[in-house]
Amino acid sequence: MAEYTLKEIQSQPKVWKSLLDKSSDIERQFESIREECSQSDLIFIGCGTSYYLALSAASVYAKYTTKNVKAVAASDVFIYPDIIFNNKRDMYKSVLISRSGMTTEVIRAAKDIKTKLHKSTCAISCRPGSELVNTCDHAFIIPEADEKSVVMTRSFTSMLLLIQIIASIHSENKAFRDELSELPKAGKRIINDYQHMSEKIFYENRFSKFVYLGQGPFYGLACESMLKIKEMSLSSSEAYHSLEFRHGPMAMADEDMLLTFFISDHGKKEDIALLREMKTLGVKTLVICEKSDEAIDLAADYLVEMNSGISDFARMVLTMPVPQLLGYYCAKSKGLDPDNPKNLTQVVEI
Ligand code: F1P
């Protein structure tokens, strides 16, 4: 077995470092579109993993630049353009996200925005020379984050980090930029510390349901984690805004469920109350947080403590290696090949 996926998960801190080392080039490139970006609202567009990336990227960008930013699935851009752009079509700068730059819906969205709305477009991708990159007016490309695997892991975190770097440049926020530079070291430590735990979870349990909960910028990460376990291990999985889980989905809670909580600094009080309540329903809990406390220690069956000293919006990529490893090890525990998930291909072309 080739084991691309595991190597790509493990390589993330190295790729983040090489991306951070290119911050000056990214800055130079951003200066050519600064004015246009400053005058527009932003819309992040993608499919699958790249759509979930758009959700988290939109939160981070809105937070630091105080701009109006939204995320949409690429298909809605050409199926429901009126809902997305309504009568404000001149206001938006579109950012199209795609690892391959070949996904049909993303390319169609980019072409429609250019030809029907006459607006310029910007691509975020891992493949130079792709159709998306050639269609867009600007492109930020990170070839070192590209992957052999079908399932996106380091491309997700690296393209998210790239957008965070751009947000730090756009907002001229040096403190945010300094926080981002700490990520590779913390990421390496987290992978070393928690790889074994991620494997052990599946020696100790056989879950039939997986749920991921996160608020704000962590909601897109919860969705992406849900997709990792689904794609690699063919397991039923769902993601919700944390407090939404109480509005119906908790009917499904029982001992066959692994409930993963992304606990943020912003929503810690509400998150912990929910965690304690769910624990009483018999679920197994996995908590991913910056720092634990007595209440978390008591209610978490499995705990990932990042201890990074980095704030909520800057440390987002640090939360991802463990959910990616869960997908990988769950697949292994079921005798599946995470490099070659059933029914999936690296690029979805229609
Ligand atoms: C997005 C995507 C992935 C999915 C699969 C096929 O691709 O749909 O989300 O996991 O690998 O591609 P892209 O537009 O980012 O290349």
Report the interhelical angle of 183-204 vs 12-20 (nearest 10°): 160
301 burial level (CB within 10 Å; 0-12, 13-18, 19+): middle
Distance from residue 347's CA to the centre of ligand 1 (Å): 6
Q: What CA–CA distance (Å, rounded) separates 54 from 60?
A: 10
Q: Which helix (H) or strand (E) holds 292?
A: none
C-alpha dihedral sign at 171, 175, 176, 182: positive
pLDDT exceeds cutoff 90 at 126: yes
Report the interhelical angle of 154-170 vs 49-65 (nearest 10°): 20
Instruction: Grade residue 274 by pLDDT with cuts at 50, 70 and 90.
Output: very high
Percent of the chain predicted with pLDDT > 70? 99
Say what the alpha-carbon torsion angle 197, 201, 204, 206 is, to the nearest 10 degrees: -170
Higher-confidence residue of 204 and 88: namely: 204
Q: What is the mean pLDDT of residues 108-134?
A: 94
Q: Could you read off the pLDDT of 206-238 as tens digits, one per residue?
A: 999 999 999 999 999 999 999 999 999 999 999
Residue nearest to atom 2 of ligand 1 (CA): 48
> And the tokens for 211?
């749920």
Q: What is the mean pLDDT of residues 326-347?
A: 91
Write down the pLDDT at residue 348.
76
pLDDT exceeds cutoff 80 at 90: no
Question: Across the chain, what does the average pLDDT equal?
Answer: 95
Distance from residue 103's CA to the centre of ligand 1 (Å): 7
> And the tokens for 222?
């919860």
17 burial level (CB within 10 Å; 0-12, 13-18, 19+): middle
Write down the pLDDT at residue 1.
58
Half-sphere exposure of residue 91, counting CA atoms within 13 Å on the CB side?
10
Q: What is the mean pLDDT of residues 149-156?
A: 96
Distance from residue 346's CA to the centre of ligand 1 (Å): 6
Instruction: Grade residue 187 by pLDDT with cuts at 50, 70 and 90.
Output: very high
Write down the pLDDT at residue 2.
59
Q: What is the mean pLDDT of residues 136-144?
A: 97
Would you say the CB of residue 49 lies under 6 angstroms from ligand 1? yes
Q: What is the mean pLDDT of residues 126-141?
A: 97
Question: What is the per-residue DSSP string for 195-247?
Answer: HHHHHHHHHH---SEEEEE--THHHHHHHHHHHHHHHHH--EEEEE-GGGGGT
Q: Could you read off the pLDDT of 275-287 as tens digits, one per residue?
A: 999 999 999 999 9
Ligand 1 atom at minimal distance to the Cα of residue 52: 9
pTM of the entire structure? 0.96
Q: What is the mean pLDDT of residues 324-338?
A: 96
Distance from residue 87's CA to the centre of ligand 1 (Å): 31
Would you say the CB of residue 60 lies under 6 angstroms from ligand 1? no
Write down the pLDDT at residue 306.
97
